[in-house]
Structure formats: C-alpha cells, structure tokens
C-alpha cells in the first residue's frame, strides 16, 4: 500500500473483470477512496474498452481496456478479486496467495470446508485442501474476526448470503429446528451471467418464472455449512435484471412467537452497518444498487411455521459489494468504505 493524502492507496486487480460481477466491482471501486484499479482482465474481451461493453463506466473509466491475464501484471498488488469459474479460480489461487496482499475469490472454489463435497455439487475434485482450510468465508456478519488480515477470502454468493442472514439468527437463538428447513429464492437474470445461454436469452426470460437446480443445487452445502441446518433449497429465475429475495420456512423449536423471531434478528444484527430488520416483508427494489440487506421474520400460529426473509441486490451485497466489504476488513479499512447503504428509488 502507498500513502496518498492521508489514505492508503490500495492497488487492485480484477481478474475476470468483463463479467457482470467484474463490472459491479469497477462501479464500486470508482467510488472507493482507497482503490486504484491497476489491472482489469477479461480474456474474451481483451483489447476492448470497458466503457464500450458497459457504457455506464464511461465517465469513471474512459480509457480502461480489458487485458489478457498476465501473472507478472498482478504480482505485488495489494488486492486481487477473482471473477472466474469455480475450477479456474481453484487452479489460479495458489499462484496468487503470497504474491499479492489479499485474494478475494467470488467463485465457490474455496467456500466449502469439506473438499469431498466438490465432486458431488460442483463436478470437480478439489486439489488444494491446504488453501481450502486457510480460506475465510467472506460473510462479515458471521466471520468478521477471521477476516481481519485474511490472505484468501471466499465470498458467499447471493443465495447463500440472503438465506444465511435470514436464518442464522434463529438457529443461534434456538428458535427453529435444524432439519426440514425450506429455502426458496427468486433472483434476477444477472445471476445467470453475461454470456448468452438458453437460461438468460430474452425470449426465455420475459414473462416467465422458472425453478432450477431442483433437489441438488450446488449452493445447498454452503447454506447448510453457514446456517447450521439441514435444508432443501430451490431457486427461481424471474424477469428482473438484479435483486434476490429469499423466503425461508422452518418448524419452531419449543416456545416461539412472532415477536421472538423478530427480536432474535434485531439482536443479532444490532450493530451491523448493512443489515436492517424491517417490519413486514422486505422487497428487492428497496436495496437495489446498495450493499444493504433487509431481513424480517414472523411466526404463523395457524400452521406452526416460522417464516424468515431477506432481500439483497444479487450483484452488490450478494457478490461484488460483499466482496469489497470483506476486503475492507481484511485490509484494515472501515468495512463500509466505498459501499452504499441506500437503494435506488424510485
């Protein structure tokens, strides 16, 4: 790090900057007083201006051109974000840890503590068990202490972030049973990535809602690891660009009430800078473009069911914003630096 006007200048590289999470990282970095983007790679878009692909970046990055990955270009940087496919991140991380100050991986390559789960849920063998054990799960609301001075951060992703924020307070308070939990999410199309596929082509998305990953979605073990409960997870793709809403159902443990579950969330998140406990059901538009999460919970006496909810922006708190929040902590900055708490409305 270098000192600049009393603030440390953090030299940043984004590997895989041409995807949606990379573009969101660039947007956030443009508002971060410490970040200086030194490298932005995008092999498929190498040689192309970032502002040509994302015109919203024109004012902040008029001359930024995506480059091909070159290990010598990132060597010695203070912070490197990885926006790569899972297996590609796993292969690259060993060459980065130790040569850069902090690596923040937006893939799932280092999220699971059980390496044996990767073949079943991600389709590849994990070949870096030592680094897997060293990686810190990048959800500050649960792992703030471990994130301090972390050299490798594994960000949780949008579905896991929302479900964990909704349910973990209730598990810790002993208010819900830790088996038979149901997690349903609806998510914006940006979660499917920038490359055109049958999933995100306009004619298949417009006026359509579809469940996917039935019974064996790859993020299920991450949720169970962080929430501390056995669950079934079903995500749904809906026709909006960005946003994610998790609605979770659980059976109560012993005495339970609507006040008890809401109070448990309020106590858990009392000092959290980005989590608000709201009365009633949260909505995705309320957090659009921000790093905030709106959570709520209630208890239905008629059916004996606890309902917990969380709304986030899938690209911000659910990906790039959460990654920056974790990086801020790892580098000793105020975790809110460069991150918005107010959504875009109307």
Instruction: In the chain, list all ranges with CATH 3.30.360.10.
Output: 158-314
Q: How far is CA 215 from CA 200, 223, 231, 310, in A?
A: 22, 14, 10, 21
CATH number 3.40.30.10 given to 2-155+318-330:
no
User: For each of the chain's 346 residues, which pLDDT tens digit applies?
Assistant: 654 446 889 999 999 999 999 999 999 999 999 999 999 999 888 989 999 999 999 999 999 999 999 989 999 999 999 999 888 999 999 999 999 999 999 999 999 988 888 888 888 889 888 999 999 999 999 999 999 999 999 999 999 999 999 999 999 999 999 999 999 999 988 876 777 677 777 778 888 888 877 777 778 989 999 999 999 999 999 999 999 999 999 999 978 999 999 999 999 999 999 999 999 999 999 999 999 999 999 999 999 999 999 999 999 999 999 999 999 999 999 999 999 999 998 8
Are 20 and 193 a contacting pair, CB within 8 Å?
Answer: yes
- Provide the whole-model pTM: 0.94
Domain 158-314 sits in CATH at 3.30.360.10
What are residue 113's phi and psi, to 5 degrees?
-80, -20
What are residue 41's phi and psi, to 5 degrees?
-95, 150
Instruction: In the chain, list all ranges with CATH 3.40.50.720.
Output: 2-155+318-330
Active site residue 310: no
Helices (H), 7-65: 20-29, 50-53
Residue tagged active-site, from 158, 248, 256, 310: 158
Measured distance CA(327)–CA(331) in Å, rounded: 6
* Bridge partners for 246 per DSSP: 185, 310
């Amino acid at each position: 790090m270098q000192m600049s006007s009393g603030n440390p200048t953090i030299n940043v590289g984004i590997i895989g900057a041409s995807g949606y999470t990379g573009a969101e990282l660039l947007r956030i970095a443009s508002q971060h007083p410490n970040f200086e983007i030194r490298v932005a790679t995008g092999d498929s878009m190498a040689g192309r201006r970032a502002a040509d692909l994302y015109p919203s970046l024109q004012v902040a990055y008029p001359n930024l051109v995506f480059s091909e990955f070159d290990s010598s270009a990132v060597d010695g940087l203070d912070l490197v974000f990885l926006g790569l496919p899972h297996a590609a991140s796993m292969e690259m991380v060993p060459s980065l840890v130790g040569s850069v100050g902090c690596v923040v991986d937006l893939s799932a390559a280092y999220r699971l503590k059980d390496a044996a789960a990767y073949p079943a849920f991600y389709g590849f063998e994990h070949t870096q068990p030592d680094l897997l054990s060293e990686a810190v799960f990048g959800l500050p609301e649960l792992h703030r202490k471990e994130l301090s001075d972390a050299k490798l951060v594994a960000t949780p992703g949008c579905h896991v972030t929302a479900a964990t924020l909704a349910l973990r307070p209730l598990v810790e308070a002993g208010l819900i049973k830790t088996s038979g939990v149901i997690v349903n999410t609806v998510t914006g199309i940006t979660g499917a990535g920038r490359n055109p596929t049958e999933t995100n082509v306009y004619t298949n998305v417009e006026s359509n809602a579809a469940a996917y990953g039935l019974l064996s979605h790859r993020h299920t073990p991450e949720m169970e690891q962080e929430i501390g409960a056995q669950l079934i997870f079903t995500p749904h793709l809906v026709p909006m660009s960005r946003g994610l809403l998790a609605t979770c159902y659980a059976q109560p443990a012993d005495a339970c009430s609507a006040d008890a579950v809401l109070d448990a969330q309020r106590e858990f998140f009392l000092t959290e800078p980005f989590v608000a406990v709201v009365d009633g059901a949260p909505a995705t538009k309320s957090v659009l473009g921000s790093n905030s999460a709106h959570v709520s919970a209630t208890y239905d006496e008629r059916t004996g069911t606890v309902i917990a909810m969380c709304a986030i922006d899938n690209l911000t708190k659910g990906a790039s914003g959460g990654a920056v929040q974790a990086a801020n902590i790892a580098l000793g900055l105020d975790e809110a630096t460069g991150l918005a708490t107010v959504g875009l409305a109307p």
